[in-house]
Amino acid sequence: MRPSVLVGVLAALCVLILQSAASAAPAPAGDLLLVPEKVWSGQGDIAQSGLVVLVHDGVIAAVGPEASLTVTAGTRRIALPGATLTPGLIDLHSHLFLHPYNEVVWNDQVLKEPQDYRTVLATNHARDTLLAGFTSLRDLGTEGAGYADVSVKRAIDEGLIPGPHLFVATRAIVASSSYGPGPKGFRPDLDLPQGAQPVTGVDEAVRAVREQASRGADWIKFYADYRVGPKGETMPTLSAAEMKAIVDAAHQLGRPVSAHAGSDAGVRMAVEAGVDTIEHGDAATEATMKMLKQHGAVYVPTLTAVAAIGEYFEQYRPGGEPTARMRESEHAFRTALKLGVTIANGSDVGVFKHGENWRELEWMVKLGMRPAQALHAATDGAAKVLRQQDRIGRIAVGMRADLAAFEGDPSATISALAKPVLVVKDGRVYRAPAEPR
Ligand SMILES: [Zn+2]
C-alpha cells in the first residue's frame, strides 16, 4: 500500500469510528403522520384516497381518515401530495457485492477487486437500494466476497449505515469446477478465488450448508445448473442426491432454499429436491412450471438481468428486438403467469445498477402482469416468501413501519416506481419531500 493511500484509509477509518460511536444505538424514531394522495396497502388491488397512516415506535399504529385519528403533539406530519403510499418494496434476488458488468465484467470483479473494496461498494449499494423504496432484500450470494454480507447486514441493523433489511445467503453452493472464475479459460496451475463454495458429494454439500448457516446464512442458495455443456450449454451440475442433501440439511436448520436454475432439467431437479424458490427458470417448459405449482415452489424470474446482459454483450437496445435468451425468459414468465404459478419479485440487481430495482416490476408488467399484481409480487407476496408476512409487506395496524411513496400511482402506472418521494424503515425517515418553508 502506498503511504498516501494508507493515510487516506486511516482518515476514512477515523470518520467511520466517529460515526459509529455517534450512531451505534439508533436514535428512537419519533411519531409520524403520513398524508399521501392515496394508499396502496397490499390488501386488494386499488389505491384508496382519503387515508393517512400514523407511525408510532417503528410500527403502523393507525390507518384511516385524518379526522378520525388522535395525533399526539410532536408528531411529524409529512404531506405527500400527488403521491401514493405503499408498503416498503422487497427484491428477492440481489447481489449487493456486484456492480454492473458493463463497468467491470464478473470475472474481474471476483478476481481483482479486494473483498474490503467490494464491502465498501456494498454499503453504497445498500443505501441506494433503500432510498429507492426497497426496504427488504434477499441477497443471494456475495459472489466471492465470503461472509461479508453478514457484516453489512449487522452494520445496517446496528444503525451504522443506511440500508434495507437483509436476508443473506452468504457464499452460495456450487458443484466443483462448474462455476467460476475458471477453471475453464485459465491455465491449470492457477488456484483461483471462487464465486461460490464448491462441493462434491453429499457430505461436502451438507458440510457447506452447516458452515454457511452457522456463519449467518438466512437462506441457502445453490446452483442447480450452469454453462458446463460441451458447447457451454446450461446443464445440471449437482447430482439429485447432492441437491436433496442440501435442501434437507438446510430445512433441518430452519433455512429455506433458493436454487439458481436456467435449464428445464435443472429446474426439475431443484423442484424435485424440494427447494423453496427457483431463480431465473428461463427454459422451464409448461410441464415443469406445472410441477413448480404442485410443489408450491415460488418462481423468481429476474427479467431485468437478462435484458441487461443482452444490452452489455448481445447488442440488445431497449425497445428493440429481444435477444434469444430474453425471448426464452419471456416465454417462461408468460407460461408461469398463465398457469398461476406463484411469481415473486426478484431482479438479480447488481448485474444492473443498484437502486434501479423497480425495473423488474416494469418488465413484469410489460410481459403481462397487471401493475397491482407486480406490486403484490414485491410486497405481501415477497414477504410470504421471506416468512415475514406478519411483519412486512402490507400497510396495516401492527405491521412494521416499512413504507415508501411514489409520485403518481404505481398500481395504475408501474413506472411511477422510478420516482420515490418517501422512504421509511422501522419508522425512521430516510427520504422525504422538502418541508415547505
Ligand atoms: Zn443472481
Q: Which CATH architecture has domain 89-361?
A: Alpha-Beta Barrel (3.20)
DSSP state of 400: B
The distance in angstroms from the start CA to the end CA of the chain is 49
What are 206's three cell numbers? 451438507
- Residues 200 and 191: their CA atoms lie apart, in Å, by 17
Q: What is the mean pLDDT of the segment spanning 56-67?
A: 97
Q: Is the pLDDT of residue 2 over 90?
A: no
Chain centroid to CA 367: 20
In whole numbers, what is the pLDDT of the chain averaged over residues? 94
3-state percent helix, strand, coil for the chain, nearest multiple of 5: 35, 20, 40
Instruction: Please state the φ and ψ torsions of residue 413, each to the nearest 5 degrees.
Output: -135, 105
Give the residue, 8 or 406, on which the prediction is more confident: 406
What topology does CATH give the domain 32-87+395-431? Urease, subunit C; domain 1 (2.30.40)
- Residues 222 and 174: their CA atoms lie apart, in Å, by 6
Q: Is the pLDDT of residue 8 over 80?
A: no
Give the pLDDT confidence score for residue 434 in this predicted structure: 86
- C-alpha 344 to ligand 1 mean position (Å): 14
Structural domain boundaries in the chain: 32-87+395-431, 89-361
Q: What is the mean pLDDT of the segment spanning 127-139?
A: 98
- C-alpha 5 to ligand 1 mean position (Å): 33
What are 95's three cell numbers? 447481489
Give the pLDDT confidence score for residue 10 in this predicted structure: 46
Q: Which of 369, 343, 376, 338 is nearest to 45 (CA)?
A: 376
- C-alpha 247 to ligand 1 mean position (Å): 19
pTM score of the predicted model: 0.93
Q: What is the mean pLDDT of the segment spanning 14-29?
A: 48
Give the pLDDT confidence score for residue 296 in this predicted structure: 98
Structural contact between residues 308 and 351, judged by C-beta atoms closer than 8 angstroms: yes
Q: How many CB atoms lie within 10 A of CB 173?
A: 31
pLDDT-derived band at 13 (thresholds 50, 70, 90) equals very low
Structural contact between residues 237 and 174, judged by C-beta atoms closer than 8 angstroms: yes
- Residues 137 and 100: their CA atoms lie apart, in Å, by 18
In order of 79, 173, 249, 381, 387, the CA distances from 254 in angstroms are 42, 17, 9, 20, 11
pLDDT-derived band at 160 (thresholds 50, 70, 90) equals very high
pLDDT-derived band at 330 (thresholds 50, 70, 90) equals very high
DSSP state of 231: T
Pairing assessment for the beta strands 59-64 and 52-56 based on DSSP bridges? antiparallel
Write down how long the chain is.
437
Q: Is the pLDDT of residue 51 over 70?
A: yes
- C-alpha 78 to ligand 1 mean position (Å): 37
Give the pLDDT confidence score for residue 437 in this predicted structure: 62
- C-alpha 351 to ligand 1 mean position (Å): 8
Give the pLDDT confidence score for residue 27 in this predicted structure: 56
Cα–Cα–Cα angle for 423, 424, 430, rounded to 5 degrees: 65
What are 297's three cell numbers? 415452489
Which residues have CB under 8 Å from 65's CB, separation 6+?
50, 51, 52
Q: How many CB atoms lie within 10 A of CB 147?
A: 16
Q: What is the mean pLDDT of the segment spanning 351-364?
A: 98
- C-alpha 87 to ligand 1 mean position (Å): 24
Give the pLDDT confidence score for residue 26 in this predicted structure: 56
- C-alpha 93 to ligand 1 mean position (Å): 6
The pLDDT tens digits for 412-425 are 999 999 999 999 99
pLDDT-derived band at 405 (thresholds 50, 70, 90) equals very high
Q: Is the pLDDT of residue 24 over 90?
A: no
Give the pLDDT confidence score for residue 420 in this predicted structure: 98
- Is the preceding omega at residue 181 within 30 degrees of 0, hence cis? yes
- C-alpha 194 to ligand 1 mean position (Å): 15
DSSP state of 135: E
Structural contact between residues 62 and 69, judged by C-beta atoms closer than 8 angstroms: yes
Q: What is the mean pLDDT of the segment spanning 218-230?
A: 97
pLDDT-derived band at 435 (thresholds 50, 70, 90) equals confident
- C-alpha 193 to ligand 1 mean position (Å): 18
Give the pLDDT confidence score for residue 436 in this predicted structure: 67
- C-alpha 348 to ligand 1 mean position (Å): 5
Give the pLDDT confidence score for residue 391 in this predicted structure: 98
Structural contact between residues 375 and 361, judged by C-beta atoms closer than 8 angstroms: yes
Give the pLDDT confidence score for residue 228 in this predicted structure: 95
- Residues 325 and 97: their CA atoms lie apart, in Å, by 25
Helix (H, G, I), strand (E, B) or coil at 47: coil
- Residues 292 and 271: their CA atoms lie apart, in Å, by 6
Q: Is the pLDDT of residue 25 over 80?
A: no
- C-alpha 84 to ligand 1 mean position (Å): 30
- C-alpha 343 to ligand 1 mean position (Å): 16
Helix (H, G, I), strand (E, B) or coil at 376: helix
Handedness of CA 393, 395, 400, 402 (dihedral sign): positive
* Lowest-confidence pick of 101-115, 179-193, 257-271: 179-193
Give the pLDDT confidence score for residue 184 in this predicted structure: 87
Q: Is the pLDDT of residue 203 over 60?
A: yes
With a pLDDT cut of 70, the percent of the chain lying above it is: 93
